[in-house]
Structure 1
Amino acid sequence: MEASLRYELRRDLENKKGEQPLTLLIHLSSQRKKVATGIRLIPELWSLEKQQILNLTTKLKTLLQKKYGDNLPKKQTLIQYQDDLIDLKNKVRKIEEGFRSKGIAYSVEMLIEKIKETKEIKIKKEDPTNLVYDFIDRYIQEHELTRVKGSLVVYKSLKHHLKNYEVKTRNKIRFENIDYTFMQSFQNFLIKWEKVHETTGTVNTLNNITIAKQLSTLKTFLGYAKRLGIKVNDGYKDFAIKRDKLEVIALTQDELDQLFTFNLSSNKRLRQVRDVFCFSCVTGLRFSDLQQLKREHIKEIEIRLTVKKTKEPLIVPLNSYSKAILHKYKELVSPLPVISNQKFNKYVKELCKLVGIDDSIEIIRYKGAIKQSTIYKKHEIISAHTGRKTFATLSLEKGIPAETVMKITGHSDYKSFQRYVKVTEERKRNEMQKAWGAPV
């Protein structure tokens, strides 16, 4: 029998900031026990019904700041809290599976004992400077079963850059020393970072987008360490990360139709890649979800699955395009002939080049204050993720409200989704000026 898991706020233990402890209630047979999560929340940010932390929208933030002021947590902190809640539930399920696989009848007390064991923090006392690196390893280990594999690569990269920084500056990295000054110094180090490829002699550098990702990852990690009882210098919170805008590479409706109807009868490999790519373009599914798609996920008029990246349930309505593609492969065990991501990204470029999707696209990146501009043919920068971007952009152009598109794609943050709206508006302007002439 599987334990019932439910999160609840302890209304009787509110601190001076107005926060209440969030506990996990474990119910098994007639036994009920509470487990501390280490998370404290203001009650307005918790949905008991949905069992999740509410999205800190601009409207909600403005409303709550009047009451809580500086005590209001940052959006990134709340995202990390939600991740931790998902991780804790997954941890309990894993413990239960371990008991069941060994044929052991378990109680609530046994579950709690195992949870406590996994929470024990092992610190190498002989060298305090290793603490930061040990915790990065711990974070990776604790999240590898609940996160998409690629999402943890950035933490390994962060560890690598921190060690290089330590060697370069000869400054030992400790939690208590990571303040505003450190963040500024580390950012400058990343801007100047270069690595020469041993074989080709090519010099690799980091652009501002990659640097911002490293710095935001470091902030997330410091918050994680603090919640586990490590004394962390709060100065890092004052450091603002500047984020450059990413271009949205998406197909136009004409390009999608051209691709969808292109004659590939003599090329099975590219025909299948085309169908999988177009399916992403008309459903908005990530490649990881195309890979996990099974027959049981496909209902009469929609797809129902749990998103691999976010672990959230998703409903995607079928349309004439997606229905026609699924019909092609009705005899297969899997709904679609999905190959590896690496091969797919290679073949989809070849496919789009063959079809003639070759408009010139300028990609702008900054390294510090230095602008770097590169011109590509569009087919050179198309990848599996272009399908998802195409769906969002074309759906908005067809008049589907942004809120509806976000529901289908699974976007929870309008700020990250807003770039698709801007692209749509820009296309409207371009088409208007092309048809009627630019304003004088």
Structure 2
Amino acid sequence: MAPNCTPKTNRFMLTIQFDRRADRPDAAGRCPIHLRAYFDGLRLRVATREKCLATDWNADKGKFKKPFPGLTEANEYLETLAERMQARYRQLRSAGMAVTIEALKAALAPPVEAPKVEEPAPIFLTDLYADYQAALKARGNLVQSMVSVATTFTHLNRFEKVLKRRLLLGDYDLALHDQFLAYLRGTRKLGQNTVCKTVKHVKAFLRYVREDRRLPVAVEAREMKIRWAEVEKVYLSAAELSLLEKALLPSSLVATRDAFLFCCYTGLRHSDLTELSQANVQTWDGSRILRLTQTKTRTAVSIYLTPPAAALLDKYDGTRAHLLPATSNQVMNRNLKRIGQLAGLRDLVEVVTIEEGKVVKRQQPKHELVSMHTARHTFAVLSLMRGLPVAVLQKVLGHAKIQTTMLYAKVVEDFQHQEMRRIWEGNATPVPAADSNPVCVIEAAVA
């Protein structure tokens, strides 16, 4: 059949042909290839976007021929166009719908690409933790309380480096949490209670993510179970405190010793000692007292200044903006170990730690265990031994819960039991309190 002749078609049949429009050559002599369709007495012509020379076209068969480049792919493309139009024609007929030129043209239109749905940006665990830190700061959390929050952030960053990948929020499930705990204990060599404190911050972070940011988390706080280890608090006996008071020290260590003794007499934390000013000193019944708001808990406390404490204030009166000399906690802790050694705190004590799930016991000189917080423990234990009621001690220390103060009462109770057993079951010869060496554990105390 000649290419330009209209074929005879059945009323309900679609006939498709391809021809080359020789009347529309381009500058290179290539003419466009068109699809012609005949159906229901109608005729349709559609450009295929293909072009070729006369030598590349088989007019009888209506397809490309050699030497047309890409011959096979080009002919397959024409067949695909014909099949798509035939399929659309049958679809309309089967549905009882009118077959129109526009409907058949639409079958050859390039498929409309579905709009690209942008994938949500990945939520990295440490990025979200940084947001959490910023939120805590904005909500007025104290700098001191933010230190351990920042330490947990450091642990998470280092954990990612061990894994050699950045963690997504959804990655942190119970299995990965267990890996994190193993890293803290095994690689970082952290003690049980330090690990517990880290887990406490991770739990608080995940609560913030779920409740404040409304993001799904892969592990619930209740699933992250961990136990705090019971710790015995390091404190000085009355005899050991006396040794410290009388020790001959280099002038460079005297100020640290005096600051430590003042905390032993008042129960102050290092953070409160560094902020003391003359405004905190008031008179009461002819004596002096301290009134202050604790830095850590924001609890208002009132502390009676005993004669030794008052004497230390007088020693440094007018010499500085703050009442007593104090440097950083780390420097003072380092100095205290040397001071304790010079004062003769050399008695060995049993140090109990938990390493890789095992209880490890070591003998260690007591002076190596002394820190600024030892002063607070010393004040609490010696006050109870002198008969200060637990409820009064709770107010002085600023504890919100009396259970925290009762930890000191247990130490005194154990001491009383030991003394009764010594007197009734052993030699009744008095033993100096400095000789009693309670078991100590190197862990941060709760109080």
What's the TM-score once normalised by structure 2's chain length? 0.61
Q: 1:404 aligns with which of 383, 392, 417?
A: 392
Contact kept, 8 Å, 1:158 with 1:218, in 2: the verdict is yes
Aligned partner of 1:141 in structure 2 is 134
Distance 1:311 1:185, change over 3 A: same
Distance 1:380 1:164, change over 3 A: closer
1:237-252 equivalent positions in 2, closer than 5 A: 237-252=222-237
Matched residues in 2 for 1:346 and 1:437: separation? 41
Aligned partner of 2:185 in structure 1 is 191
Q: 2:205 aligns with which of 204, 216, 221?
A: 221
Aligned partner of 1:348 in structure 2 is 336
Contact kept, 8 Å, 1:178 with 1:236, in 2: the verdict is no
Distance 1:147 1:269, change over 3 A: farther
1:91-170 equivalent positions in 2, closer than 5 A: 127-130=121-124, 132-144=125-137, 146-166=140-160
Deviation, 1:382, is 0.4
2:380 counterpart of 1:380 = no
2:379 counterpart of 1:391 = yes
Deviation, 1:126, is 6.0
Matched residues in 2 for 1:226 and 1:365: separation? 35
Deviation, 1:438, is 5.2
Aligned partner of 1:39 in structure 2 is none
Q: 2:317 aligns with which of 325, 330, 342?
A: 330
Amino acid at match of 1:271: V
Contact kept, 8 Å, 2:264 with 2:379, in 1: the verdict is yes
2:291 counterpart of 1:304 = yes
372-381 or 274-283: which moved more? 372-381
1:18-33 equivalent positions in 2, closer than 5 A: none
Structure 2: runs of 5 or more not aligned: 1-118, 428-447
1:408-423 equivalent positions in 2, closer than 5 A: 408-423=396-411
Aligned partner of 1:290 in structure 2 is 273
Contact kept, 8 Å, 1:129 with 1:172, in 2: the verdict is no
1:274-324 deviation line (CA, Å, top 9, x unaligned): 221111001110111111100111111311112122223222121222112
Aligned partner of 1:428 in structure 2 is 416
Deviation, 1:371, is 1.9
Higher helix share: 1
Aligned partner of 2:302 in structure 1 is 315
Aligned partner of 1:255 in structure 2 is 240
Q: 2:263 aligns with which of 247, 262, 280?
A: 280
Deviation, 1:273, is 1.9
Deviation, 1:166, is 4.9
2:353 counterpart of 1:365 = yes
Aligned partner of 1:231 in structure 2 is 215
2:191 counterpart of 1:207 = yes
Contact kept, 8 Å, 1:175 with 1:231, in 2: the verdict is no
Matched residues in 2 for 1:189 and 1:263: separation? 45
Deviation, 1:184, is 3.6
1:359-404 deviation line (CA, Å, top 9, x unaligned): 2122211124222222211111101111111111111222212221
Matched residues in 2 for 1:403 and 1:127: separation? 54
Matched residues in 1 for 2:155 and 2:254: separation? 42
Distance 1:190 1:341, change over 3 A: closer
Distance 1:164 1:384, change over 3 A: closer
C-alpha RMSD over aligned residues: 2.7
382-391 or 163-172: which moved more? 163-172
Deviation, 1:190, is 3.1
2:253 counterpart of 1:270 = yes
1:85-96 equivalent positions in 2, closer than 5 A: none
Matched residues in 2 for 1:188 and 1:344: separation? 32
Matched residues in 2 for 1:172 and 1:235: separation? 21
Structure 1: runs of 5 or more not aligned: 1-124, 195-203
Matched residues in 1 for 2:238 and 2:174: separation? 47
Matched residues in 2 for 1:340 and 1:183: separation? 34
Matched residues in 1 for 2:409 and 2:135: separation? 37
Distance 1:345 1:169, change over 3 A: closer
Distance 1:346 1:191, change over 3 A: closer
Matched residues in 2 for 1:311 and 1:186: separation? 33
1:211-240 deviation line (CA, Å, top 9, x unaligned): 212111101111223331322446332332
Matched residues in 1 for 2:343 and 2:157: separation? 46
Aligned partner of 1:102 in structure 2 is none
The SS at the match of 1:158 is: helix
Distance 1:433 1:381, change over 3 A: same
Contact kept, 8 Å, 1:222 with 1:232, in 2: the verdict is no
Matched residues in 2 for 1:172 and 1:352: separation? 46
Distance 1:415 1:169, change over 3 A: farther
Q: Looking at CA atoms only, which structure, 1 or 2, has the larger radius of gyration?
A: 2
Deviation, 1:177, is 5.5
The SS at the match of 2:353 is: strand
Q: How many pairs does the alignment contain?
A: 302
